[in-house]
Structures are given as C-alpha cells and as structure tokens.
Amino acid sequence: MSLLQQSWYQKGHWLSWLLLPLALLYWLLSSCRRLLFTLGVLPRHTLTVPVVIVGNISVGGTGKTPFTLWLCQQLLARGIKPGIISRGYGAKISAPTAVTPASSARDVGDEPLLLARRSQCPVVVCPDRVAAGKALLAQHRVDIIICDDGLQHYRLARTVEIVLVDGKRGFGNGLLLPAGPLREPRSRLAKVDMIIANSGEVPQADYQMQLTGNVAENLLGKEALPPSDVTLVAGIGNPQRFLTTARQAGFNVVAQRLFADHHQFTAADFAGITGPVLMTEKDAVKCQQFACDNWYFLAVDASFSTIESAEIINKITKILE
C-alpha cells in the first residue's frame, strides 16, 4: 500500500492535512458539476430501458463486480434479461466495444471480461456510458441495464442507484480525494436507493453482503487445488479482503506479491515464485496466456440472507412493472 493510501485510512495523518486544499478544490469542482446536471444545464440522457447503477463513493474495491454477477443471476432466474455496461478501466477504448468471453483483458478491461465470462449477459464497454448503453440496446434485446460503476457518470440518467461500501475499511478518514478515498461526500448516500455493506457492518447500510470463495481452479483447466500453502498474487483494490477470503477457504498464505488495482500482469511479475500461486478471478483473466501449471484462481460469489435477497430483487423488479 502506498503512503497516500495509508494516509486515507489513518485519521490525522500528516499527508491528508497537506492535501486538504486539493480536496477542497475537488469538492468545489465536483459539486458544481453535479449541480449543473441537477439543474438541467448539463443534459442527462435516458435510455429506453431502466438503468441500475452499481457504484461507490470511494476508490478501491468494494465488491461491485461480485454484486453485479449476483444481481444478473437473480434476474435471469426470474426470466428478466439484463445487459451490462462498464467503463472498461485500464483499456484504451474510444468507442463502444462488445465484450465476449474470448476478448482480451488488455482490450476491454479485466472486470468487463470477467462479467462477460460469468454473467451470461451481453456486455459493452466505453468511457461514455450513454454510448455504451445505446450500443448494447442496438445489438441486444434486454429488459434492464446494469451499469457496473458509474455513480458519478451523471450524463447517464438512472432509475436506481445502489452503492457498495467496504465493510472493513468503511470510508477511511472521511475526506475527499486526494486527502482521502472519497469520490463524493458521505452526504451523497442520503440520495441513493440502496446501500450494501460488503463483508462487514456499516451503520448506514440497508443490507449485508458476504463474499465466499469457491474451489481454487487452475488457469490452464487442470485439476483444482485443495487447501494448501500458496503464494498470494493480487492486483486489486483491496488485497486484504482477498487474503481473508483465501484463509477462510482453508489456504495457508506463505507469501504475498501485491500490485496496484487493474495491474497489467506480465510473466516477469511472477519471477522467483516456485510454489502454487493463488490469485483472484479478475487477475486470472489477464494471466492465462502465460500461466504455469501451478497457477490457480479463487472465484468468489456474493450472497445475502434469504430475506435480504428477496427485498433487493423485489425493489429492482418493481421498476419493470
């Protein structure tokens, strides 16, 4: 973790105090922009089907992708056809691009590729989510669009806003970027439709989501790895949560090699590792082309209590009535 990130999760850190003027400027610019959309000075674009935003007010991993997968599975089970749009972070995308299971993570982004492989739903990526949504609707018949990330992409009109919050890290020091991890102030939560805490308790949360690890699958399709000693390799927003999940699944993490979120892996990143490697599914989609026999990924699934699951889906399906 960089010094900047460390300062975000330590109240009163000297670096956060130093960056407060920049955070004030960030607040001023972002607030003015949001106000312009609210007043209609900057136009919002409405798609022909309901749009569900799955986002966060903080940087780093909060569990948006596992939740999006869970939501897609729940909707499909009820005969509702969702489509997914995303930014395609880390990839150079200038126009709406359809994502298929055969796509390259370098071309479309790691999370969209994971969504395309696991969701059984059409996925389109573009920094302009309005263009992504229109392209998806032109190519597929869907009943609803789920926007993975995009809470701050106000050009896209939305029907429902769902915010994921990391239950362990919360909101850090509560400050805006770059003095803290927040993209928007916590007061923004009062205006969203649903707040979901991931793997921990958050006072404002409406629901509690848990992530559970599945079998450690081999990147080359060989036999799965039973609980054993592993080297953890991760390029995600919150590697500590993955470490906890791996341990809960029975793995003994003897070493860690951590990289920045959305890191573009190369074979050189694994130099010197001799034992089994355990990584996230999101990282695995970027490593298959040069994977070794003893590289594995631990997929995770989101889950809720039966009551909470029913409530969430009822709120979503109501907008289709």
Condensed to tens digits (0 to 9), the pLDDT of residues 2-43 reads 899 899 999 899 999 999 999 999 999 999 999 999 999 999
pLDDT of 44 above 90: yes
According to the model, what pLDDT value does residue 107 have? Answer: 95
Regarding pTM above 0.75, the answer is yes
- Mean pLDDT for the stretch of residues 94-102: 96
Question: CATH code for 46-149+156-171+197-208+304-318?
Answer: 3.40.50
Domain extents for the chain? 46-149+156-171+197-208+304-318, 210-301
Question: What is the model's pLDDT at position 111?
Answer: 94
Give per-residue burial for 53-73: e unless 16+ CB within 10 Å, then b.
bbbbbbbbbbbbbbbbbbbbb
CA torsion 106-217-272-114 (nearest 10°) is 20
pLDDT, average across residues 88-114: 94
pLDDT at 240 over 90: no
Instruction: Specify the pLDDT at position 60.
Output: 83
Indicate if the pLDDT at residue 1 is higher than 80.
no
Mean pLDDT, the chain, integer = 95
Q: What is the pLDDT of residue 321?
A: 84
Per-residue pLDDT tens for 50-66?
999 999 999 988 999 99
Are the CB atoms for 86 and 132 separated by under 8 Å?
A: yes
Other CB atoms within a 10 A radius of the CB of residue 202 amount to: 19
Instruction: Please give the Cα distance from 69 to 146 (Å, whole number).
Output: 10
Tens-digit pLDDT profile for residues 293-317: 999 999 999 999 999 999 999 999 9
* Other CB atoms within 10 Å distance of the CB of residue 281: 19
d(CA 132, CA 120): 18
Q: Which residues contact 237 (CB under 8 A, 6 or more apart)?
A: 59, 60, 61, 62, 261
Please state, in angstroms and rounded to a whole number, the distance separating the CA atoms of residues 221 and 200: 33
Which long-range contacts link 134-137 to residues 24+ away (Cβ below 8 Å)? 134/47, 134/96, 135/96, 135/98, 136/83, 136/84, 136/85, 136/96, 137/47, 137/48, 137/49, 137/83
Mean pLDDT of 205-213: 94
Q: What is the pLDDT of residue 214?
A: 74
